[in-house]
Amino acid sequence: MKVTKTALPGVLLLEPPRFGDTRGFFSESWNRKTLAAHGIEIDFVQDNHSLSAQTDTVRGLHFQSPPHAQAKLVRCGRGRLFDVAVDIRKGSPTYGQWVGYELSFENGLQLLVPEGFLHGFATRDPDTEIVYKCSDYYAPDCDGAVRFDDPDIGIDWNLSGDAVLSDKDAAAPLLANFDSPFTWEGPK
Ligand SMILES: Cc1cn([C@H]2C[C@H](O)[C@@H](COP(=O)(O)OP(=O)(O)O[C@H]3O[C@@H](C)C(=O)[C@@H](O)[C@H]3O)O2)c(=O)[nH]c1=O
């Protein structure tokens, strides 16, 4: 397993090995012991799977507040997506900064998004599937969102057309009008 640090401490890019043969490939998409050996010890309790029919579908930027904050381990099941994490921990030296990576069925990459970060993605192909593990259960009362195209965050989504959004995401507040429920706890 190759684990690469990103510009945002705590956000990691994971590359599980794939064993190819004449049938195709085999890959361990998650293994608690392997991740623990890399210092990643998170109790995942829920797996999510969604399909986005159209290219340029954007879901995000989402979070769940404490006491139901979620870390997420994200991969692409089919197609290609651009996956983004944004630091929203008050007092963090990287508050408001983002990183984004292309996760695809082809490259098998995974993004680890810790608690205290917004998560969102844009699809690059039709019928793109995302699959992700979450460290807490869905808690609609703690569900929140920030505008995906907030100019203060400035994510370069590189869309080919207009974003396809849910009503909830279209009505999400800007970061400037948002009181983050997360606080930076210092370097780890
Ligand atoms: C997130 C979620 C939604 N739902 C339901 C609520 C609603 O009826 C339907 C669609 O919900 P949403 O519109 O919130 O789905 P979606 O916009 O795909 O939300 C997801 O976006 C990505 C970026 C994330 O990071 C996730 O944590 C989650 O917020 O599914 C669950 O039952 N369980 C869940 O865990």
Listing DSSP states for 38-55 in one string gives: TT------EEEEEEE-ST
Sign of the alpha-carbon torsion through 41, 78, 102, 83: negative
Nearest residue by C-alpha to atom 25 in ligand 1:
119
When pLDDT is averaged across residues 60-77 and rounded to a whole number, the result is: 98
pLDDT for 74-112, tens place per residue?
A: 999 999 999 999 999 999 999 999 999 999 999 999 999
Q: Is the CB of 138 under 6 A from ligand 1?
A: yes
**Ligand 1 probe mutation, 138, 147, 155, 164, most atoms within 8 A of CB:** 138
Please give the ipTM for the structure prediction. Answer: 0.98
**Which is the closest atom of ligand 1 to the Cα of 168?**
13
Determine, yes or no, domain membership for 109: yes
Question: Looking at the 3D structure of the chain, how many domains does it have?
Answer: 1
Residue 38 lies in a domain: no
- pTM here? 0.97
Answer yes or no: is 113 within a domain: yes
pLDDT tens per residue across span 5-56: 999 999 999 999 999 999 999 999 999 999 999 999 999 999 999 999 999 9
Model confidence at 116, pLDDT cuts 50, 70, 90, reads very high
Residue 57's CATH number: 2.60.120.10
Give the domain extent around 52: 44-183
List the structure tokens of 75: 């991969």
The C-alpha atoms of residue 147 and residue 132 are separated, in whole angstroms, by 21
Burial 18-54 (b: 16+ CB within 10 A, else e): eeeeeeeeeeeeeeeeebeeeebebebeeeeeeebee
Predicted local confidence at residue 187, as pLDDT: 82
User: Has residue 133 been placed in a domain?
Assistant: yes
